[in-house]
Amino acid sequence: MTAPLIVGLAGVSLTDDERAYLRDVRPLGIILFARNIGDAAQISRLTEEAAALSGAGLVFIDQEGGRVQRIRPPLVPRYPPAATIGRLYARDVEAGRRAAHLVGLLIASDLLPLGINAPCLPVADVPVPGSHDVIGDRAYGTTPEAVSVLAGAVADGVLEAGAFPVVKHIPGHGRAMVDSHVSLPVVEATREALEVDFAPFRALSALPMAMTAHVRYTALDETRCATLSPRVISLIRNEIGFGGLLMSDDISMGALGGDLADNAAAALAAGCDCVLHCNGDMDEMRLIADRLPPMAPSAATRLAAVLARRNKAPAGDIAALREEFSALTEEPA
């Protein structure tokens, strides 16, 4: 039976403990980081073996371009940050939209031959003045309209290539004044003001997967961050309208504090479909697996719907598309 869990791995090949864990726990996915990246043949071996042992249909990676790109040259091209595409969109709407579509398609096309089918992009957060740069140039713009259009185009490109985008960080990380990797952002904006944050996610609510924000919004829940809050997860489902597979952000991040296994269980109890644990620490992975219930039937249905959305059509002449993208995103001097 598939476990409602996505896990990281320690290195470039599976350890015996990891093989046993994947076989016994059967997480629904794995996620790769720079520590897992060697050459193309090594990545393919790692993803193939991990998927065979766990039965996992999904292999995730943060591959946005800019500073968040786990696989880099010479294996794949270096892509510009989202803000570059946002600046192009401000100058030329159609060129910006086309560049956004192409970057999603090209990133997915880089990853699929390596056995990676779930790039964690686009970022649909709308940063506000003074916010922490943990989002910064990862955002496609500073207005809901620009972010909605460009993040949607990126996601369409990923889907066209045959992969599954993960939109993040729902319901919005753009007002965070601290880095949630380190401590918990607390956002005191009014419910009305938060509509700006929600708008891109509402526009993208038909996408197959989303990742939560480890952010506490006092107007929505005074005591719990979004990942652990039934109120916020209900808002994501019923007001924003997201119906796809909902995963937590990394459960081991500094924002949450407290007991790791308790937090993992609380995220599922709040309404997340699965929990993400990234650091590859086997002791932590075992603790979490021991505490998690089986995947809920509703989550299993959403997972099946994700996998059913795969587009098997060829992506076209990738070399020509790369040249087009490069020409579009070459910024004026």
Catalytic residue list: 181, 249
Q: Which of 329, 324, 317, 309 is nearest to 109 (CA)?
A: 317
Supply angle C-alpha 294, 299, 303, rounded to 5. Answer: 115
Q: How far apart are CA 331 and CA 333, in angstroms?
A: 6
Where residue 155 falls (left for φ over 0; alpha for ψ -120 to 50; beta otherwise) is alpha
Q: How far apart are CA 315 and CA 162, in angstroms?
A: 8
Give yes or no for a contact between 25 and 54, defined as CB atoms under 8 angstroms apart.
yes
Q: How far apart are CA 164 and CA 259, in angstroms?
A: 31
Give yes or no for a contact between 266 and 229, defined as CB atoms under 8 angstroms apart.
no
Burial label, 40 (beta-carbon count in 10 A; 0-12, 13-18, 19+): middle
